[in-house]
Amino acid sequence: MLNFTVGPVQESDEILGIGSQQTPYFRNQSFSKIMLENEAMMKELSFAEENARVVFLTASGTGAMEAAVMNCFSKEDNVLVVDGGGFGHRFVQLCEIHEVPHTVVKVPFESALTKEMLEPYNGCGYTGFLINMHETSIGKLYDMKLVADFCKKNSLFLVVDAISAFLADSFNMSELGADVMITGSQKALAVPPGISILVLSEKAVDRVTNHKVKSMYFNLADALKNGERGQTPFTPAVSILLQIHARLKQLCEYGAEAEIKRIAELAEYFRSQITDLPLKIASPSLSNAVTPLMVDEEISAYEIFETLERDYGIWVCPSGGELKDKLFRVGHIGCLEKRDYDKLVDAMKQIFSNK
């Protein structure tokens, strides 16, 4: 199978090989050394400040989102939440569950996030800001400089879900003044799902350490304490952390910018090859991570997804709900090359020629 989804993504033979080995014992110095190196490399690739810390959770990205909300905010806060799709709305739901006062900034499907949308909330006493940098459900990338400038002006604690944007789009945690960055193992890190990662600024570490969270598993203060010795409070997904270690070493050899450039070139190449197909790119602000494609009314997007899987051995991302028959997405992260996209484009041309 060829995998053009945005998670889990296509993995290299080296990463697959690590996953096929016997899972080692982890309460020892050798694993602690690996975890401390993982933390240092994540800080380097996210351009975090020197005193930043990293937490590796054995959980999906949603687990990290929930941990961030639980550990960073309380009933005394009042946060802004950008809701432009399924994952932005997830932050809204988490605020509701954990009784964090919040206001929703709704971004219509066809629109980018603009300065005018944020202007009504200037100087209104908000304490935090939650955003999915890339709303993966519809392939929309938000302007993080716009968001960062707004947060700095209003002294807001900024939490960024960069789960699919990390290493696909430019993200400099220190320059943006982000307090928490979230990503996941199954995106541009290109290893199996199971680990989510939170990079915490010094300010975030202080907030988490002094916050009494009603949770055992998602207690980030406990995770930070254990992380000082290169360990986790509970049994982690050991093999995936070893795969992450190998992948981070690769990435640090040539840098985050080079990986972003590689992914951007794949995205540009694919988009240039589909101009003659009856498809419309569906986002006003694109991420390098994925191309969202709207189909005309003569063919179902879900039918394209099923046909590619069944007849061509190719996976793309379907959509759900009201977009099921209108939108599918093609990812550009993972172990992919231009020749892989040639196979995808040829398959799509055959599907459309048969309609």
Torsion over CA of 25, 198, 245 and 26, rounded to 10 degrees?
A: -10
Q: Are 231 and 32 in contact (CB under 8 A)?
A: yes
Q: Which residue has the higher pLDDT, 296 or 189?
A: 189
Closest CA to 336 of 280, 265, 273, 266: 266
Mean pLDDT along residues 15-24? 98
- Burial annotation 102-127 (CB, 10 A radius, 16+ → b, else e): beebebeeeebbeeebbeebeeeebb
Cα–Cα dist 179/160, whole Å: 8
- In 10 A of CB 61, how many CB atoms? 27
CA Rg value for the chain: 20
First-to-last C-alpha distance (Å) of the chain: 24
Give the pLDDT band of residue 298 (cuts 50, 70, 90): confident
Mean pLDDT of the chain: 97
Asked if the model's pLDDT at residue 12 lies above 90, the reply is yes
In one letter, which amino acid is 334? G
Query: What size, in residues, is the chain?
Result: 355
Cα–Cα dist 61/29, whole Å: 28
Closest CA to 227 of 4, 42, 31, 55: 55
Q: Over the stretch 149-189, which tens digit does the pLDDT of each residue have? A: 999 999 999 999 999 999 999 999 999 999 999 999 999 99
Q: Which DSSP letter does residue 186 get?
A: T
Q: Which two tokens stand for residue 313?
A: 């051995």
Cα–Cα dist 244/247, whole Å: 5
Give the pLDDT band of residue 226 (cuts 50, 70, 90): very high
Asked if the model's pLDDT at residue 63 lies above 90, the reply is yes
Burial of 277 (0-12, 13-18, 19+ CB in 10 A): middle
Cα–Cα dist 140/322, whole Å: 17
Beta bridge partners of 160: 131, 181
Mean pLDDT along residues 248-257? 97
Cα–Cα dist 151/174, whole Å: 13
Q: Which two tokens stand for residue 175?
A: 């320059």
Cα–Cα dist 130/150, whole Å: 12
Give the pLDDT band of residue 354 (cuts 50, 70, 90): confident
Cα–Cα dist 59/72, whole Å: 18
Asked if the model's pLDDT at residue 297 lies above 80, the reply is no
Q: Which DSSP letter does residue 86 get?
A: H
| Bond preceding residue 8 cis, omega within 30 of 0 | yes
Cα–Cα dist 33/304, whole Å: 46
Q: Over the stretch 96-116, which tens digit does the pLDDT of each residue have? A: 999 999 999 999 998 999 999
In one letter, which amino acid is 41? M
Crossing angle between the packed helical segments 238-254 and 29-46, to the nearest 10 degrees: 40
pLDDT of residue 344: 98
pLDDT of residue 296: 83
Cα–Cα dist 62/32, whole Å: 26
Q: Which two tokens stand for residue 162?
A: 């960069």
